[in-house]
A and B are shown apart, each in its own frame.
Chain A
Amino acid sequence: MGMGSVRTGMTGRSTHTFVCPECRRSIEVDDAMRATLLETGCVVCGAPVTEEDIGEAPTIS
């Protein structure tokens, strides 16, 4: 599991907050979308994405 993940109890789905290093957009993404972003870059501006750009989502309690 990468850093900064939060597992939501009800759905078992982890979410992460991605902040694009180029366009600065902040997007909440799930595990699969996280992998897609790392592979293909930001969906808005196309900038390459590294693990450091995908941090922790707000804790859901």
Chain B
Amino acid sequence: MGSGIRAEVSLPTAAASPFDGVVDGTTPVTGVTRCTPADDRERVVVEFIADADLSVAEGVEVVFDYGGRAAYRFEAAVDPDSPFAVLDRHETPVSEAVVRDGRLRVTFHASDLPTLRSVLEAFREACPEMEVKRLLQSSTTPTESDLVTVDRSELTERQREVLEAAYEAGYFDHPKGANAGEVAASLGIGRSTFTEHVAAAQRKLFRSLLD
């Protein structure tokens, strides 16, 4: 009990995955869920959340409109090399799956180290460009750990860009490595525009952290 490992793995969307040819990876995709019809184990039905104006391939339908965002659904043949199929074979559910910057990021809980090694070996065989981003082993007591999920897709591309530039420049350091005017200048925007972007991004991030 409790010897499991939480793993976050990143793979190109062009590698074997249900998303190959469905989304181009430039628009963030979140909330990926899937099911396999009982009468046809060779097919998989995949659903995901993305901007409502997403350009998608034929065969992808909108099943629910959230306003600015929408739930999309499509069917695909099961590809045994897909990370989802690999995890299925290891009887390991996908905890979270998102697409960002052309890469599919999959989070799962391996029940033990041999399972993790086996999953990663299968991922690597199917896709040598596989990256392991993060591994956490559950040895801390619950009171020592307080994980939250932050959905970065809530940030606009511009907000992420501004935050990254500010962070890199040391704007959030104490003492500051750069002031608002300097970071704004490096981005070619006005100081007030910069502070508006930072404030909006901070508000979204803190809402996730403090909920």
Chain A residues positioned under 8 Å from B139 (CB to CB): 31-32
Chain A's closest residue to B173 (CB) is A61
Which A residues between 1 and 57 are near B, CB-CB below 8 angstroms? Answer: 10-13, 25-33, 36, 40, 43-44, 46
Which B residues between 129 and 143 are near A, CB-CB below 8 angstroms? Answer: 131-140
Report the Cα distance A29→B6, complex, angstroms: 10
Interchain CB contact under 8 A, B131 and A25: yes
Interchain CB contact under 8 A, B137 and A30: yes
Chain A residues positioned under 8 Å from B134 (CB to CB): 27-29
Chain B's closest residue to A45 (CB) is B124
- Of B57-65, B92-100, B144-152, B193-201, the stretch lying at the interface with chain A is B144-152
Chain A's closest residue to B170 (CB) is A61
Known: A43-B116, A43-B117. A32 touches B145 (CB 8 A): no
How far is the CB of B137 from the nearest CB of chain A, in Å?
A: 4
Which residue from B133, B135, B136 sits with its C-beta under 8 Å from A43? B135
Does residue B184 face the partner (Cβ distance < 8 Å to A)? no
Known: A43-B113, A43-B116. A10 touches B172 (CB 8 A): no
Q: Identify 13 new A-B residue pairs, CB closer than 8 A, beyond the known A11-B144, A12-B145, A28-B135.
A: A10-B146, A12-B144, A13-B136, A13-B144, A27-B135, A30-B137, A43-B113, A43-B120, A43-B132, A43-B135, A44-B120, A46-B117, A61-B172
Residues of A within 8 A of B (CB): 10-13, 25-33, 36, 40, 43-44, 46, 61
